[in-house]
Amino acid sequence: MHSRPRYLPWIVIVLLTLSSMLSACGQKGPLYLPQPDQEQQEREE
C-alpha cells in the first residue's frame, strides 16, 4: 500500500511555482537598463 498519493509531488511543485511567482510581484526597481554616465561614454570613444 502507498502511504502517500502519487500526485503529492505535483502539488508541491505547483505550490512552489505559484509562491515564487507571487513573491516576484513585489520586486521593486527600474524596469529598464540605466543609461551609462557621460564619463563612461567619453572614455569609450
Measured in degrees and rounded to the nearest 5, phi and psi for residue 4 equal -135, 150
pLDDT tens track of the chain, all 45 residues? 567 688 899 999 999 999 888 877 666 766 677 777 765 555 555
Residue 40, SS3? Answer: helix
* Alpha-carbon gap, residue 31 to 27, rounded angstroms: 10
C-alpha cell belonging to residue 11: 502539488
DSSP letters along 7-26, please? THHHHHHHHHHHHHHHHHTT
Output the pTM of the full model. 0.46
State the residue for C-alpha cell 502517500.
4
